[in-house]
A = this chain, B = another copy of it.
Amino acid sequence: MGIKEWVVPQDKAFFDLFDEMAGTVVAAADLLVDFVENFENVKEKCRQVKQLEHRGDDITHQIYEQLNRTFITPLEPEEISRLASALDDILDYIDGTAQQMYSYGITETDDSMVQLAKLIQLSVVEIEKAVTGIRSIKDPGLIEERCIEVNRLENIADNVLGHAIMDIFKTKDAITIIKLKDIYENLEMATDKCEDVANVLSDIAIRHS
């Protein structure tokens, strides 16, 4: 068996796991958008998001196991570990915000939540494409474009958060402020985590092109 045949199946395993992870993150973002747009059956929808979060934990665990068993990896071990953990962080924030909206007893969602959820959704779709792109980095420019777009979306989310915070302090009571502030901030944190993933992907693209 040549070294190439020996290496390639393990490369494939990593890229397959990352594709599966990116797909899980996109599925969670889709649920989140539905969650804030149609805020009903909240408990059941939370359960579905939590299921995706658990699936993400499993995939992350498999990536680390694969990493610990493999001598020659398609990317640097540190890149694999940073990427896996950053993708998992997005999922944790999506899940965490959904669970928070449930345990805070929120009765209705608002425009800021919908905007932030949609920015998360747009970001993770870009990320999914960039993750697919690292399987065979022919054109690092394409990955870079996705990452620039994720950064642009994060800046918008930051602005949406700033305005949402200004609004709640103008008009609401303290308990509502506590609840909404946490929810807005956590949604925005999810876009920060998307930016972290984009930065890792961008480094990988430059280093391996």
Which residues of B lie under 8 Å from residue A103 when comparing CB positions? 162-163, 165-166, 169
A178-B181 contact in complex given A68-B206, A99-B162, A203-B64, C-beta closer than 8 Å: yes
Residues facing B in A170-206 (CB within 8 A) are 170, 173-175, 177-179, 181, 199, 203, 206
Which residues of B lie under 8 Å from residue A181 when comparing CB positions? 178
Residue of B nearest to A185 (CB): B182
Q: CA–CA, A105 to B174, complex, Å?
A: 15
Residue of B nearest to A78 (CB): B78
Contact with B along A51-79 (1 / 0, CB 8 A): 00000000000001100110000000010
Residue of B nearest to A207 (CB): B68
Instruction: Please tell me if the beta carbons of A175 and B174 are within 8 angstroms of each other in the complex.
Output: yes
Q: CA–CA, A163 to B104, complex, Å?
A: 10
Contact with B along A77-113 (1 / 0, CB 8 A): 0100000000000000000000110011100000000
A104-B165 contact in complex given A65-B206, A206-B65, C-beta closer than 8 Å: yes
- Residues on A lying within 8 angstroms of B by beta carbon are 64-65, 68-69, 78, 99-100, 103-105, 162-163, 165-166, 169-170, 173-175, 177-179, 181, 199, 203, 206-207
